[in-house]
Amino acid sequence: MAPHRKSRPPSSLGLRTPALATAALTSVALLSQTAEASPAAEPRPSTEEVQKKIDDLYQQAGTATEKYNAAKEKTTKQRKRVATLLDDVAQRTEKLNSAREALGSFAAAQYRTGASAPDSASLLLADNPQDYFDQTQLMNRLTARQKQAVDEYVTQRTTTSKKRQEASEGLETLTTTQSTLKTSKADVQRKLADARELLSKLTAEEKARLAAIERKKQEEARRKADELARQQAADAERRRQEAATQGTGAGTGAGTGTGTGTGTGTGTGSVPGSDSASSTKAAKALAFARAQIGKPYVWGASGPGSYDCSGLTQAAWKAAGVTLPRTTWDQVDTGTTVSVDSAQPGDLVFFYDDISHVGIYIGDGMMIHAPKPGAYVREESIYYMPIHSVVRPG
């Protein structure tokens, strides 16, 4: 007979299992949905933020352009210097060979005639005859002409060696500047590509808002230019009145009886520098700059068909007979720094803390400049960008 087993009461744990399983499955499903859901998109930048980013990229591109211009100018100068050094080395090598041949001729003649001891021939044919000078008294055996030949050889050997070293160092420097030129070019292209990408992502509505922001910026800059124009006009009038007061004198005299006599004296004054040679040059520079209005901005260009900012100012003043350096960083040190209120037509106006942009002042708070890629040489308020300084060339 099979033993009877006492049946177990249902376990309380077993009663809860279905509920736990259901909860677990629900949690897994929720987690799965969360994992599959796309992450929250980053908030789209405002139009003002996009505008600032684009402006920053163009400014950075301007800075990179000036670095490119500096590297290009240095590369050009270094290439010319290396070419000159190599030509010099070639010429001196020819002189060295001629001096060596002269020594060989003397030595050969001595062997043929037996006019000199073997040591003398060794001296003349040695790679470094100077060693013999320090060790022997053979110079006493040489004629004046032979001594001159030895001296010429030693001189040419030393000078040629020095020039070869300079040429070698020049080539190394040229390689470095060419590398910097390549890096600067790539940096400019990258900044401009980033700016174009930002612009390409804008909707039509955002582009319209961007244009409105730009118009507002230009209007504010023009308002400040008008204020400066009024201030400069008032200052000019005040100077004219002061000059007239200082330059004009009058006197009268009278006699008794029926006769009278009068006398007057007059003098004239002019605005200082109005007819100076510097003003004439400035006028020529301005005439050139105005003739370039409408030509495209191209980074690294200095005319005649296109310009970057410093290329335009350099070309304008060159037309006036004044040589300016190529980059904004060098141009800012050429001339006399003046206040914005004292700016005169022809002065150079520099912008940004890093001095990466320049325009040529035309008066009334306005300038002519090559603004940025995609734009053309134009007139604009000097307050369109943060002013760094004003410099008067010459």
Which residues make Cβ contacts (< 8 Å) with residue 119, sequence separation at least 6? 136, 138
Compute the distance between CA of residue 327 and CA of residue 130 in angstroms, rounded to an integer. 50
C-alpha distances (whole Å) from 30 to each of 39, 147, 287, 315, 391 are 15, 103, 75, 70, 69
Which residue in the list 357, 372, 388, 392 is annotated as catalytic?
A: 357
Q: Is 236 in the active site? A: no
Whole-number Å distance between alpha carbons of 310 and 28: 66
Q: Give dist(CA 357, CA 340) in Å, integer.
A: 16
314: nearest Cα among 282, 322, 299, 362? 322
Q: Tell me the residue type at 383.
A: Y
Report the distance separating Cα 314 and Cα 129, nearest Å.
54
Does 309 participate in catalysis according to the annotation? yes
Distance CA 71, CA 73 (A): 5
Catalytic annotation present for 232: no
For residue 217, what is the DSSP state? Answer: H
The four Cα atoms 383, 388, 392, 393 give a dihedral, to 10 degrees, of -120
Q: How many Cα neighbours within 13 Å face the side chain of 357? A: 26
Q: What is the largest CA-CA distance in the chain?
A: 179
Q: Among the options 64, 309, 366, 391, which is catalytic?
A: 309
Q: Which one of 100, 369, 372, 392 is the catalytic residue?
A: 369
C-alpha span between 367 and 380 (Å, rounded)? 5
Asked if 110 and 121 touch (Cβ cutoff 8 Å), the reply is yes
Residues serving a catalytic function are 309, 357, 369
